[in-house]
Chains A and B, each alone.
Chain A
Amino acid sequence: MTRSELGREAFVLGFSLLVAMAAGSLLVLLLGESPARVYGLLLSSTWGDAYGVGQVLFKATPLVFTGLSVALAFRAGLFNIGAEGQMMLGGLAAALVGAALPVETCAWLALPLAVLAAAAAGALWGAIPGALRAFLGAHEVINTIMLNFVASALVLGLGHRVFLPETTHTALVVEGARLPSLGLAGSAANLSFVLALGAALAVWGFLSRSRRGFELRALGLSPGAAEGAGVRVRATLVAALAAAGALAGLVGCNFVLGYKHYYEEGMGRGAGFMGIAVALLGRGHPLGVVLAAVLLGTLSHGGVAINALVPKELVDVLQAVIILAVAASSAVFSHQVRRSGP
């Protein structure tokens, strides 16, 4: 990225955040509250103490994964709106596998198995729309959204059979499959955050340094040229969405393996859609995604704190405004890399 391109992207970001803050302030005023007070509480409850920081990291971790998921698909020219469903199934899979293992399984075995299960479930849920797109030309936007609904129904249905009686969650996973906490003043932040950073590094390395990453980027920017250069378009499309699904599935590590140690209905809800905002804010770049995830994680945790003053749905509105602002300002100021849709 050249210097001027970087400057333009930074401008787009700054502008979008300003717009979002303005919109948020308006909504707050509508309720008769003071924006300064609300934003102040937002900041102090997040970066003000160790517990806040920990919670921010905890909330940011799923966003890193879903942000990477959406961003990776984006770079291949695909819209992954299905991170929500992929994430649900990943979490459920991790919980079920983690609980099914023998109790004495050591961490070296249990953890990778559970993590793999999460990734595999997500990958499957991503491969389906990927294949439909690659082989039948069915646009993935609607299919991924539909699969979100189907996943939701699946989890509900399966849940009735696998949840512990009288609860809405699965059995506890074995000791070996639990990720240790980061020890930040009792917050929920756990090793998954490190895993997420590792994933970001891996995606970065893949995209900028590897052959397949090069082919994927070419495919996203110009499918015709990629095909002409011998790239196996259909296989790459499926692989891209499957990988995106796997990344989203890994969200399961954060809640299931690192926090509650079981899968609960409604866990992590909204992280899939927030991933879209993260990917856009992070301009599709793994490092940007991490930073954006931390930012939106701040918003997310702060939202809980400000619920005393204003409905926490304000955060959802802010997130949507951010996406709109980024989409608008990047069209006006920066370079577009988009393709036509359904």
Chain B
Amino acid sequence: MSDFFLSLMGLAFWLQVVRISVPYALAALGGVTSERSGVIDLALEGKLLFGAFAAAWVADLGSSVWLGALAGAAAGVLVALLYGYLVIRLRADQIITGVAINLLAFGLTRYLLKLVYGSTSSSPPTPGFEGGLAANPLLWLLLLVVLVWPVLFYRTRFGLRLRAAGEHPEAVASVGVSVPRIRWMAVGLSGLLAGLGGAWLALDNHGFTAEMSGGRGYIALAALIMGKWRPLPAVLACLLFGFAETCQLHLQAVDVGVPNELVRSLPYLLTMVALAGFIGRSRAPAALGRPAPADGDRPWTGGGNDRPAPDAAREP
């Protein structure tokens, strides 16, 4: 046990925390973007998985890590487009569609795995990250993204409209701005980031394993809720989860007297605790999950002669 605490002091441990936190952070940033615009982002898990598969496969095909990363991002965007079409255009239920996309990812990646590599559990080794973390250009790119995101949210026109769309889409529509267009962009960005996160997973692992996302998409969702739907706090929450997972990995190897099942469940239990509000209450964007008003018409409610409801105030 003392070994474990000793390792906590080492640089290697903390570098591992960063390494493990990257996919969480990317998925969480994507989730924040989508949800702040009003679209629930349950499909993060599926985007991670599809991104991982695409990255492993293309990296293998092209013998290039960069191509793999690109492919991962592209796969994420494709999934986002499908999701966007279903929930923005067709206004399908966002929770069901999100869960379904995750199920699709699980089944389809296994199917494709069999198709391409003849196995349903894992691919052979594929190209991935070489060298230390500090030398990984992708990491620095991602650090840049993390720093740029708050600026995007709070200091740009797009960010203002995005935040407004997630709180009161009717207000945005009433000034002539298209809410569906904002949400498409937000969902697309989420796909890009989460797909990239999946790519990181596969490239770090040097291969694709079935269901390798392991619930990270859902945990990223919990992290963003903990971070109160704000970019930087969400990333910090991801670091917390990354820390938990790293601890779990170290403790598993060591026989510590803590039952194994508890150790394995650590990230998931932590997620539940976070959601229960023990790490601060948070308020979701007010219009989260609500379909955008159709560009143009509002449906006619009530059939007769009604006096207008003087209910003009929005109560806090």
Contact = CB atoms under 8 A, between A and B. Distances in A.
Q: Answer yes or no: A and B touching, Cβ < 8 Å.
A: yes
Interface in B253-295: 259-262, 264-265, 268-269, 271-272, 275-277, 284, 288-290
Contacts, number: 149
Given A138-B277, A145-B218, A320-B100, A313 B110 contact: yes
Given A132-B276, A311-B114, A332-B90, A141 B95 contact: yes
Nearest to B261: A157
B75 to A, nearest CB: 16
Interface residues of B, number: 46
Given A323-B100, A328-B90, A157 B111 contact: no
Interface stretch (B17-25, B101-109, B169-177, B186-194): B101-109
A284 B264 CA distance: 35
A223 B276 CA distance: 21
A339 B284 CA distance: 14
Interface residues of A, number: 49
B221 A154 contact: no
Give the secondary structure class of B's interface. Answer: helix
Interface string A117-151: 00000000000000010001111011101110110
A137 to B, nearest CB: 7
B86 A328 contact: yes
Contact of B103 (A156, A273, A330): A273
B264 A81 contact: no
B28 interface: no
A136 B277 contact: yes
A341 B120 contact: no
Contacts of A341: 40, 42, 94-95, 288-289
B225 interface: yes
A136 B276 contact: yes
A203 interface: no
Contacts of A158: 261
Contacts of A79: 95-96, 99
A142 B271 CA distance: 9
Nearest to A151: B265
B56 to A, nearest CB: 17
A342 interface: yes
Given A141-B42, A313-B120, A324 B104 contact: yes
A139 B275 contact: yes
A331 interface: yes
B106 A316 contact: yes
B115 A157 contact: no
Contacts of A342: 40, 42, 221, 225, 284, 288
B97 interface: yes
B268 A150 contact: yes
Interface string B76-119: 00000000001000111111110111011011101100110000
Given A280-B96, A320-B104, A327-B96, A30 B115 contact: yes
A323 B103 contact: yes
A79 B91 CA distance: 18
Given A132-B272, A138-B277, A341-B289, A327 B92 contact: yes
Contacts of A132: 272, 275-276
Given A81-B99, A331-B92, A341-B289, 8 more contacts: A146-B269, A146-B271, A153-B265, A273-B103, A314-B107, A321-B104, A327-B96, A341-B94
Interface of A: 27, 30-31, 79, 81, 132, 136-139, 141-143, 145-147, 149-150, 153-154, 156-158, 160, 273, 276, 280, 311, 313-317, 319-321, 323-324, 327-328, 330-332, 336, 338-342
Interface of B: 40, 42, 86, 90-97, 99-101, 103-104, 106-108, 110-111, 114-115, 120, 215, 218, 221-222, 225, 259-262, 264-265, 268-269, 271-272, 275-277, 284, 288-290
22 contacts: A132-B275, A132-B276, A136-B277, A138-B275, A143-B275, A146-B268, A149-B265, A153-B265, A156-B264, A157-B264, A158-B261, A276-B99, A317-B107, A320-B101, A320-B104, A320-B106, A324-B92, A324-B97, A327-B86, A338-B95, A340-B40, A341-B42
Closest 7 pairs between A and B when the two form their complex, measured CB to CB: A157-B261, A316-B107, A340-B289, A320-B104, A323-B100, A320-B103, A317-B107
